Amino acid sequence: MRIMGLDFGAHTVGVAVSDPLGLTAQGVEIIRRKSPGKLRQTLARIEELASSYGAEKIVLGYPKNMNNTEGERCEKTKEFKEMLERRTNLPVELWDERLTTVAADAIMMESGIRRENRKEYVDEIAAMLILQGYLDFLSNQKNDKEIEE
């Protein structure tokens, strides 16, 4: 089962997809829009990608504050979640994305990507980290269940 991971931002959406076995996340692209409020083309592109990759579920990064509270970005993310569910007819699960951008930055530093070029990749890498965290969670749940049996 393929799962799509999204990092939803004010001007961009990072997109990642799992391999068919649901073990690893690969970056796909960054969808850019000129206006934060205009989501029709963004939703259409996500629907197109979900269909072409055969995604059966979407994991959407949920930007909680470090103290576990929910701010304005969480509200916008919940609204985007509802739009995604209506548009794609796929289940959309919110996934805590705290520190994914920090981790993405660290990965790019270690990879030798120059500071001025990091903005080009950060959302896609953050989407990969969101999705990989979710895939690892599913794998751990499966392993725990097998141990209990």
DSSP string across 1-68: -EEEEEEE-SSEEEEEEE-TTS--EEEEEEEE-SSTT--HHHHHHHHHHHHHHTEEEEEEEE---TTS
Structural domain count of the chain: 1
Virtual torsion, Cα 6, 65, 9, 80, nearest 10 deg: 70
Under-50 pLDDT residues of the chain:
none
What does the block give as tokens for 42? Answer: 């963004």
CA separation, residue 142 to residues 4, 53, 63, 86 (Å): 19, 24, 26, 29
pLDDT of residue 143: 66
Residue 82: the pLDDT is 96
Give the domain range for residue 7.
Answer: 2-148
Amino acid 3: pLDDT: 97
Domain of 9, CATH number, reads 3.30.420.140
* CB-CB contact of 49 with 90 (8 Å): no
Burial class (CB in 10 A: 0-12, 13-18, 19+), 140: exposed
pTM of the complete model: 0.85
pLDDT (0 to 100) of residue 42: 94
* pLDDT on residue 148: 64
DSSP calls for 78-113: HHHHHHHHHHH-S-EEEEE-TTHHHHHHHHHHHTT-
